[in-house]
Copies of this chain bind each other. A is one copy, B any other.
C-alpha cells in the first residue's frame, strides 16, 4: 500500500497529475466543438483559395500591357468578359484585353494582376488603366491560405472560433476530439437537504454539490449530482456504487477521522487504492485521492466545509479534469501582486488566502476578503484569486510581492478599450 499521509501540496499535485492522461476520442459536429481539444491532426484535403482569385472589385489585366502606364499615357484595354465570384472566366486574355472581375472571382488565364475599379476609367469600348501596379497586385494566389496536404491543425489544439472556421472551410463537419470527463458528485451528511427543501432544525443546504458541479463545468467536464448520502457506511457505499459509471467521483464531507467519517472505509470496501490522504494545506487538510481498481473511476474525497471543498477541487480535481479533456495548460494563471496588509499564520501548512485583486498601474494589489474561516463561502464569492502563503512561512508583511492563483479570468478583461 503506497498511500501517503500529510503530504505537501506540491507532492499531492504531482501524485494526481502523474495519473492524468487525456481520455479517448469521440466524434462531434465541428459547429459544437468550441473549447474542445482535437484528438487528431488535421491535414488539408483542399487548396484554398482553389485558384488565383481577385481580392478586389476591378479589372483583371496582363501586367505586361501596363508597362509605362500612368495617368498621362494610360493604355486602354478591351473588356472582353466579366467574372463574378463563383463564376468562370472565358478564353485566356490576349494582349490588350481585360476582364471585369469581382472580389473572390477566379483570375482568368493570361491575366496576372487586378486593378481596383477606383483606379480605372470606363470608356465606351473598354477601360483606361490609370495606375501602374506591380504584377500580381490584388491577386490572392491559389493556396495562399492552405494547400492540399498541408498539416493545418495539430492533435492537442484547442478549438476556438478560427479553428471552427478553418475546419468548415476544409469541409470537415465532424471531428475527433477528446471526450469530456464525466464526474459523479456525492454529498455526505445527515444534516444536508436539497436547496428546495426546508433547512430548519439545524439542517443546511447541500450547496457543495452545486458549486462543485459548476467547477466541473468550468473545467470542461460534465457533472451529475448523485445526491446526499446519510451518515452510514451503507448509504455512502450505495451512492459510490452508483457513481462507478463516471470517470471521476467527487464526494465532499466524511473524509476525516471521526465517528461519522465513512468515506475511507467505504473506499476500502470498493477496492479503491488511496494514493494519499491528508494534504498540509488550509483550507482543506482532510483530502483523499485514489482510484477504484486499475482503470475504474478516480476518486476524490474532499472536505465538507464549502470553502475547503471548492479550494481542494481547484487545486487537484480541476487540473486532472482539464488534462483528461486533452488540455495541456491545466493550472490557473499565477500573477504577482503586492500585498496591501500583513498576514500571519502558524508555520506548517500552506494557506490559500482568498483575496480581492485590484489593478495598480501595470501591476496588481491583493487584499484579503476578510474572515478566512472555511465555512465562510462569501470569502469565495468575494475572491478573485487564492494567495499562496507558503507552508513554512508565518508572516507576510504589507508591501510583500505575493503569488496569486487567479480564479476569475475576467479580471484580465478591460472595462474600456485600452488599445
Contact = CB atoms under 8 A, between A and B. Distances in A.
A167 to B, nearest CB: 8
B190 A84 contact: yes
Interface in A25-45: 30-31, 34
A414 B331 contact: yes
Chain A contact residues, majority secondary structure: loop
7 contacts: A30-B210, A48-B204, A145-B378, A157-B381, A168-B205, A169-B195, A171-B195
Contact of A403 (B168, B200, B213, B418): B418
B13 A165 contact: no
B412 A166 contact: no
Interface residues of A, number: 121
A388 B419 CA distance: 7
Closest 3 CB pairs of A and B: A86-B191, A165-B211, A57-B258
A171 B146 contact: no
A371 B196 contact: no
Contacts of A170: 205
Contacts of A117: 258
A137 to B, nearest CB: 12
Given A144-B376, A168-B209, A171-B195, 12 more contacts: A30-B195, A86-B190, A157-B381, A162-B381, A165-B207, A168-B206, A172-B195, A328-B415, A331-B416, A331-B417, A333-B412, A412-B412
B168 A211 contact: yes
Interface string A190-227: 11100110011111111111111111011000000000
> Which residue, A256, A328, A329, A336, has most C-beta atoms of chain B within 10 A?
A329
Nearest to A164: B214
A291 to B, nearest CB: 21
Interface of A: 10, 13, 30-31, 34, 46, 48-51, 53, 55, 57, 84-88, 102-106, 117, 140, 144-146, 152-153, 157-158, 160-173, 189-192, 195-196, 199-215, 217-218, 231, 256-261, 304-306, 310, 319, 327-334, 336, 362, 371, 373-378, 380-381, 383, 388, 403-419
A405 B419 contact: yes
> Which residue, A103, A166, A330, A374, has most C-beta atoms of chain B within 10 A?
A103
A415 B330 contact: yes
A155 to B, nearest CB: 14
B165 A208 contact: yes
A162 B377 contact: yes
A196 B173 contact: yes
A210 B165 contact: yes
Contact of A211 (B102, B161, B331): B161
Contacts of A332: 413-414
Given A144-B373, A202-B105, A84 B260 contact: yes
